[in-house]
Amino acid sequence: MLTIENLEVHYTTDEGDVRAVDGVNLELDRNETIGLVGESGCGKTTTAKAIIRLLATNGRIAGGSIRFEGTELTALSDRDLRRDIRWNEVSMIPQNAMNGFDPVYTVGQQIVEVIRAHEPDTTKRDAMRRARDLFEELGIEGDRIDDYPHQFSGGMAQRAMVALALSLGPSIVLADEPTTALDVVIQDQILQVISDMQDELDSSMILITHDMSVVSETCDYIAVMYGGRIVEYADARTIIQNPCHPYTLGLRNSFPDITAESQELISIPGVPPNLIDPDEGCKFAPRCPFAQDECWEVTPTPEEFGEGHIVECHRAEEVDMLQTEAAKRETWVGEERDVGVQRDQRRVRPVETEQDSNSHE
């Protein structure tokens, strides 16, 4: 349904071009959920927003193609993209629902506005009734459509945002950290609501998050991103239980598991990569304990290991060695490997929106 081929997105800043997305390949079929996992600055949000060309003024799609049901989205005129694709086919759920609504209009008015913008012949009354039904289905009392956004609690606002996102029955929903700002009990309810509606409307979803446990429970496939590229892609079970790329292994080590008896958290030393005209070679090399000369010079090409398991690492064949070594603490936290070593690397924070300080990265 949706294919992305070596997509590149650059942000122009006064210090040079930030290559936020540097060659991403992705496939999404009907009623499928892909999790884009990664840390701040890895390009996961930019990749998703590039699909509907929702980039900041200084951002632009520098290369690659995005095909949806056969039509090339990057070639579409702004007007066509706006009329046919945005919210009609691809809608979005932001992280903080409270800020996602315009504070001076009621929630109902905003849902009606988007319905009538795409279906001019629907009357206001019908649109309002559709909004009311959506609310009921998502567990919000119908007559709350006349409330203002600030009158909703965190959880309720997010449900209203899901209603808005699904108001035109889109084929794809982009969920950008939908539950990060919520408490764990409400998060669980919202994830449940989203997957129920997804099955009902037969729509697929791209879930963007940094939380591996959420992804492992809700997504069919997981793409781990680092430095603007997908370093590992496979079905959820493989990524969690049989990861192969050093970065994925490192992420697994630093993620606390509530069921594990005694687990020693091991962090990945170093700081996120500098994306301004990056030199060749694997971007994870500076922080990777298995990096060899080859990793510093040649950018690794994605290879397939077993059915649908794609890894982008020169030493991917030595998967057993990588997995055993990565589990040991000394591999990662040797004395010289401490934070100090990375000082010389010029560190400029990329301009991407997911960089704002209040998101729970």
Partner 1 sequence: MSNIKIAAEDVKTHFAVDDDLISRMFSRGQREVVKAVDGVSLQIHEGESFGLAGESGCGKTTLGKTILRLREPAEGKIYFDGEEITDKSGDELYEFRCEAQIIHQDPYTSLNPQFRVLQWVREPLKVHRIGSAREQIAKVHNTLERVGLRPASAYADKYPSELSGGERQRVGIARAIVLDPSFIVSDEPVSMLDVSIRAGIIDLLQRLQDNTGMSALFISHDLSLLKHICDRIGVMYLGKLVEVGPADQIINNPRHPYTQALVSSTPIINPDVDRDPITLEGDVPDPIDLPPGCRFAPRCPKMMQECTVEEPQMYDVEGGSEARCILYEESHGKSQ
Partner 2 sequence: MSMQRFILRRFVYLLFTYWAFITILFIMFRITPGDPTTLYVVEGMTKAERLATLQRYGLTEPLHVQYIQYIGDLLQGDLGESYRYNAMVSDILVVKFWNTIFLMGTSLTIAYSIGIMFGAYLGWVRGTVQEKLGLFIGLVFRSSPEFWIGIVLLSVFVFELGWFPWGGIKAIGAETSADFFSRYLSTSFLYHLAMPALTGAIYYMAQPILLMRSSMINVLNSDFIEIKQAEGLSSFQVIYKHAVRNSILPMATVIALVAGMSIGGSLVIETVFSWPGMGREMVESVHHNDYPMAMGAFFLMGSVVILMNFLADIAYVYLDPRVRYD
For the CB of residue 69, give the shortest distance to partner 1 in the complex, in Å.
Answer: 31
CB 206 within 8 A of CB 34: yes
**Identity (one letter) of the amino acid at 331?**
T
List 12, 99, 123, 263, residue binding partner 1 (CB under 8 A): 263
List 129, 255, 325, 353, residue binding partner 1 (CB under 8 A): 255
For the CB of residue 199, give the shortest distance to partner 2 in the complex, in Å.
Answer: 23
Question: Could you say whether residue 258 binds partner 1 (CB under 8 A)?
Answer: yes
Q: Are strands 59-68 and 2-13 parallel, antiparallel or unpaired?
A: antiparallel
For the CB of residue 312, give the shortest distance to partner 1 in the complex, in Å.
Answer: 18
For the CB of residue 344, give the shortest distance to partner 1 in the complex, in Å.
Answer: 9
Distance separating alpha carbons of residues 26 and 360, to the nearest angstrom = 25
Instruction: State whether residue 70 is helix, strand or coil.
Output: coil
| Tokens read off for 321 | 């060695």
Q: How far is CA 307 from CA 233, 235, 319, in A?
A: 11, 9, 15
Which of partner 2, partner 1, none does residue 357 bind to, with CB < 5 to 8 Å depending on kind? partner 1
Distance separating alpha carbons of residues 176 and 135, to the nearest angstrom = 21
Nearer to partner 1, 3 or 189 (CB): 189
Interacting span for partner 1 (CB under 8 A) from 83-91, 157-165, 188-196, 274-282: 188-196
Q: Is 250 exposed, middle or buried (0-12, 13-18, 19+ CB in 10 A)?
A: buried
x-or-dash string of contact with partner 1, 115-154, rule CB under 8 A: --------------------------------------x-
* CA-closest candidate to residue 266, choices 256, 276, 258: 256
Quick one: which H or E segment has residue 59?
strand 59-68
Handedness of CA 237, 225, 74, 175 (dihedral sign): positive
For the CB of residue 252, give the shortest distance to partner 1 in the complex, in Å.
Answer: 8
CB 25 within 8 A of CB 4: yes
For the CB of residue 243, give the shortest distance to partner 1 in the complex, in Å.
Answer: 12
Nearer to partner 2, 92 or 326 (CB): 92
For the CB of residue 100, give the shortest distance to partner 2 in the complex, in Å.
Answer: 5
Residue 91, strand partner residues: 173
Task: Please report the DSSP string for 286-332 in residue order.
Answer: GG-TT--HHHHHSPPPPEE-STT-EE--TTGGGHHHHHHHHHSHHHH
List 174, 223, 251, 285, residue binding partner 1 (CB under 8 A): 251
Which of partner 1, partner 2, none does residue 70 bind to, with CB < 5 to 8 Å depending on kind? none
Distance separating alpha carbons of residues 132 and 126, to the nearest angstrom = 10
Distance separating alpha carbons of residues 215 and 238, to the nearest angstrom = 13
Which of partner 2, partner 1, none does residue 222 bind to, with CB < 5 to 8 Å depending on kind? none
For the CB of residue 215, give the shortest distance to partner 1 in the complex, in Å.
Answer: 9
Residue 21, strand partner residues: 9
The residue count for binding partner 1 (CB under 8 A) is: 53
For the CB of residue 113, give the shortest distance to partner 2 in the complex, in Å.
Answer: 7
Which of partner 2, partner 1, none does residue 320 bind to, with CB < 5 to 8 Å depending on kind? none
Residue numbers at the binding site for partner 2 (CB under 8 A): 52, 54, 57, 82-83, 85-88, 91-92, 94, 96, 99-104, 113-114, 117-118, 148-150, 353
Which of partner 2, partner 1, none does residue 85 bind to, with CB < 5 to 8 Å depending on kind? partner 2
Quick one: which H or E segment has residue 195?
helix 184-201
Question: Could you say whether residue 212 binds partner 1 (CB under 8 A)?
Answer: yes
Query: The tokens 């889109």 sit on which residue?
Result: 170
Contact residues for partner 1 (CB under 8 A)? 39-40, 153, 155-156, 183-185, 187-189, 191-192, 210-214, 216-217, 236-237, 240-241, 250-260, 263, 265-269, 271-272, 333, 338-340, 343, 347, 357-358, 360-361
